[in-house]
Amino acid sequence: MKTLTRNILRTAITVILVILAFVGNFRAWVYYTASPWTRDARFSADIVAIAPDVSGAEFRRLTSRITSWLSKVRFYS
């Protein structure tokens, strides 16, 4: 009886430690994949302004070419 209890206790402790190791590794993986970082530093941004590298005239010319191409193309569903 004493040996059976000892074996059950050993197995239970081992299973609990393995589960805790998996949970800890999973939480660390989620933390490192959810928070963006580089080798040099961590970064975060609430609002990021994005500006085009082309002037307004070039952009208008490009959008007019795309629009004319789209009007010529027929899309089939």
Report if residue 25 sits inside a domain: yes
Tally of domains within the chain: 1
The helix, strand and coil proportions of the chain, stated in percent and rounded to the nearest 5, come to: 65, 5, 30
Domain that holds residue 7: 1-37
pTM for the structure as a whole: 0.45
For residue 37, the cross-strand partners are: 42
12 in a structural domain: yes
Q: Is residue 62 part of a domain?
A: no
Return d(Cα 27, Cα 30) in angstroms, integer. 5
Residue 18 lies in a domain: yes
65 part of a folded domain: no
Q: 45-72 pLDDT, tens per residue?
A: 777 777 767 667 777 777 888 888 777 7
Kindly report, residue by residue over 3-52, the tens digit of the pLDDT.
989 999 999 999 999 999 999 999 999 988 887 766 666 667 777 777 76
